[in-house]
Structure 1
């Protein structure tokens, strides 16, 4: 007699591996050298736009819905709603299914980083809903920077009006040196960390999130390095969207 079991209680795999495509040039994806960033759009057919990203030890799937009508009262411009959830197996320390899967702080920060890039004044009485699922990620800075890039890719894939593509990068101050997109082990001992939202095509910053202590000169250098480090990711994002639109 077969033994019945609850599939939801089966432990997730300890590790995962990125997909390998036989003909990467024909897919709507872009892989940076050294495997630093992998980005693909249009994976979720039920959403208006979607993106999947692997960067700096983080794996994130993002879906964008809208613009779609929102309930009263009337508003002269559209609204942005960002929801972030962590899979129970997203980090080394397993997350509780209900308590830890919806960190409000990440949703608020991603909203602040995204808002300046959206042309919400063109979308009165409408809303944009973005759902972010973190499949792997142990550091907040890496999740925010990769999540921002994924959100921007999903929104652009949905054809929602934007001032420019926004990408994220993180910089840590560690032992009198600055590390671009540092690993989780470096972030644990960093004196300060900044996550930058940048629109390289326009030479603008949407916002940044700073944690820790640093003097003004060092903080400015961290932000400048973050903007410089965002440019290669911006190229990857733009190329992925171009390939997706021509596929």
Structure 2
């Protein structure tokens, strides 16, 4: 009798040592205490069939990502490469079970992740070629968490595949609750916030690739939210860089 094997199931690393960092929001008197430390676990090279892959676990989110390419794309000819991002949610990814093939959220997530990731890629070096990135969200308690962790996973998978990049792109999220800013908010924080932003940044170059803002906030608070997101991205950048080093030496 043949044994069954689920190719869609990506198991977490057996040995993981998530970094523990100080709360970056504690230095500001206008920022609330997230309540604990921020932890994340990132592993590359788990999907052997892909050119590059990554698996990330953070607070309330688990995402597996695979990158394929560069590979030839069909006509018409284009002077630079193209990026295709596909996001899928497992039926058990959220508390409310999702109906397969009827979930419209991944389309929006795909577009947003493409916008956040594109500025970091050197597509002008890849004419007539395409990069295909597939994300499977195993757990996601909020859109902001999925976007920020998904962006980091995409960057890790693309770097693992050896695709040219200007710099490693990582994501972070910030919520505004009664004019107080919260870094890496939970789903309950997002639901009670007046505004939330997901920031894509390349900390090594001191650049922001893009950001996705939801809600209402005055200009000063909005700028502070983006600044705090960039500060938080520096910690995630260190985690991503370390994961790539460990993956290359494994």
TM-score computed with the length of structure 2 as normaliser: 0.87
- 1:42: Cα distance to partner? 0.1
Partners of 1:136 and 1:168 in 2: CA distance: 17
For the Cα contact (< 8 Å) 2:12–2:55, is it kept in 1? no
2:202 to 195, 199, 205: 199
Structure 2: 5+ residue runs without aligned partners? 1-5, 21-36
2:94 is aligned with 1:91: yes
Partners of 1:162 and 1:40 in 2: CA distance: 19
For the Cα contact (< 8 Å) 1:200–1:227, is it kept in 2? yes
Secondary structure of residue in 2 paired with 1:190: coil
- The equivalent residue for 2:70 is 67
2:159 is aligned with 1:172: no
- The equivalent residue for 1:115 is 118
Which region of structure 1 is more displaced relative to structure 2, 116-125 or 32-41? 32-41
Secondary structure of residue in 1 paired with 2:236: helix
Partners of 1:87 and 1:101 in 2: CA distance: 13
2:74 is aligned with 1:76: no
2:19 is aligned with 1:32: yes
Secondary structure of residue in 2 paired with 1:103: helix
- The equivalent residue for 1:158 is 161
Q: Deviations over 1:14-38 (max 9, x none)?
A: xxx96441xx5xxxxx621156100
Partners of 2:85 and 2:19 in 1: CA distance: 27
Partners of 1:234 and 1:219 in 2: CA distance: 22
Cα root mean square deviation, aligned: 1.6
Which region of structure 1 is more displaced relative to structure 2, 35-44 or 149-158? 35-44
1:149 to 152, 155, 158: 152
Partners of 2:82 and 2:179 in 1: CA distance: 41
Partners of 1:20 and 1:131 in 2: CA distance: 23
Secondary structure of residue in 1 paired with 2:204: coil
Matches within 5 A, 1:36-51: 36-51=39-54
- 1:101: Cα distance to partner? 7.0
Alpha carbons of structure 1 residues 56 and 39: separation in structure 2 relative to 1, 3 Å: same
- The equivalent residue for 1:225 is 228
For the Cα contact (< 8 Å) 1:88–1:97, is it kept in 2? yes
For the Cα contact (< 8 Å) 1:48–1:66, is it kept in 2? yes
- The equivalent residue for 2:23 is none
- The equivalent residue for 1:182 is 185
For the Cα contact (< 8 Å) 1:86–1:101, is it kept in 2? no
Alpha carbons of structure 1 residues 184 and 207: separation in structure 2 relative to 1, 3 Å: same
- The equivalent residue for 1:124 is 127
Structure 1 moving runs of 4+ over 3 Å: 17-20
